[in-house]
């Protein structure tokens, strides 16, 4: 009976040791598997972040290029359609008026149109090229020809009935008078009666 007991004890001890080794190896395998899975997830996440960042930058660049092209096309189309040239101008404010000084070189006063519409001052004109004469050819054409127009939004305190324009030496001076400020209300004194 003693030998059987010792043999059984050794067998049980070896079995427990083998079982513990298997459990330990299984745990190590599971830890290694989790670590591999986490590493893969981390790499996939980093890849997705990098992809999203690249895609976003590409989208921003595309939108910027697209809108730049659209605005350039619209500007070119507007210039082609209107063929309106802007002429330099200075705007001055005085105590009782606004003065617009606009360059109009080579234009006669009867060719210049000044009008007020919807609280805006519009100055326009057109410079036409001289008719070509026989025997004359242009060696250089640098002067701009076409329609000139400037539009100025007027402040609320202007008197649109008092606008004057003078053209002298290729400079147009438009004066827009201001409205007189309203008189401040005087306090009204109310008599107190005996009741």
Cα distance between residue 123 and residue 91, in whole Å: 13
Radius of gyration, alpha carbons of the chain: 44
Can you tell me the mean pLDDT for 125-151? Answer: 78
Share of the chain above pLDDT 70, in %: 92
Question: What are the φ and ψ backbone dihedral angles of 186, each rounded to 5 degrees?
Answer: -85, 145
pLDDT at site 144: 72
When mean pLDDT is compared over 102-106, 143-147, 179-183, the highest value belongs to 102-106
Question: In whole numbers, what is the pLDDT of the chain averaged over residues?
Answer: 83
pLDDT band at 124 (very low <50, low <70, confident <90, very high): confident
pLDDT at site 175: 93
Do residues 124 and 82 touch, judged by C-beta distance below 8 A? no
pLDDT at site 106: 78
pLDDT at 133 over 80: no
Domain made up of 84-128+146-178: CATH architecture: Sandwich (2.60)
| Look-up of token digits 């004057």 | 164
Read off the tokens for 52: 């999203």
pLDDT per position as a tens digit, 31-54: 999 998 999 999 999 999 999 999
pLDDT at 55 over 70: yes
pLDDT at site 1: 55
Can you tell me the mean pLDDT for 178-188? Answer: 80
Whole-structure pTM value:
0.49
């Amino acid at each position: 009976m003693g030998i059987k007991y010792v043999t059984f004890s050794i067998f049980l001890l070896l079995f427990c040791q083998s079982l513990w080794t298997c459990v330990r190896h299984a745990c190590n395998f599971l830890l290694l598997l989790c670590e591999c899975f986490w590493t893969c997830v981390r790499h996939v996440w980093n890849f997705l972040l990098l992809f999203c960042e690249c895609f976003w930058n590409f989208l921003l660049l595309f939108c910027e290029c697209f809108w730049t092209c659209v605005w350039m096309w619209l500007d070119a189309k507007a210039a082609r359609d209107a063929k309106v040239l802007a002429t330099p101008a200075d705007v001055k404010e005085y105590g009782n008026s606004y003065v617009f000084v606009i360059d109009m070189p080579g234009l006669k006063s009867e060719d210049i149109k000044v009008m007020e519409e919807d609280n805006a001052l519009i100055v326009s004109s057109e410079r036409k090229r001289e008719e070509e004469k026989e025997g004359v050819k242009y060696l250089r054409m640098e002067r701009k020809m076409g329609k000139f127009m400037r539009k100025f939004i007027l402040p609320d305190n202007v008197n649109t009935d008092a606008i004057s324009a003078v053209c002298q030496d290729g400079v147009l001076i438009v004066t827009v008078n201001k409205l007189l400020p309203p008189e401040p209300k005087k306090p009204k004194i109310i008599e107190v009666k005996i009741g």
